[in-house]
Amino acid sequence: MPLVDITYAPHVPHAALKELAAMLPHAVSVAVECPEEPYDGDLRTGDVELRFHPNGPFDTSGMDVVVEVRSKWFESRAANRQERVDDLCEAIEAATGLDDIGVYLSLPVAAWAQS
């Protein structure tokens, strides 16, 4: 279950944020798919958590959007993490039309429980 934080600049259009909200659950699921956690294409509540945050007055980012994905570490997932993050960045650029995107993939040793 990936947790996704999206930080965005004030000039990013509402339509681009709306597109991110629509496309990220699937795109992130594809990006972190692995044999230990296969993606069947059927997203359910809790499968991907999106959290949108506008840049604050003291933030120093010069990027339009920074997407941080945290998903449980598996060796198969970590082996090609740069390819995964590059593909996700390209998908976000294509969907939003924004040029200044950053994507960070973190794979901590973790556990998840959901009621």
Domain map (residue ranges) of the chain: 3-106
pLDDT of residue 112: 77
**What superfamily would CATH give domain 3-106?**
Macrophage Migration Inhibitory Factor (3.30.429.10)
pLDDT of residue 109: 84
Retrieve residue 86's tokens.
Answer: 């590059």
Contacts for 97 with CB less than 8 Å, ≥ 6 apart: 16
Q: 101-106 and 49-54: which strand pairing?
A: unpaired
Contacts for 95 with CB less than 8 Å, ≥ 6 apart: 19, 20, 23, 27
This prediction has a pTM of 0.91
Give me the average pLDDT of each 10-residue run along the chain (115 residues).
94 96 97 94 91 93 94 95 97 94 92 79
pLDDT of residue 62: 86
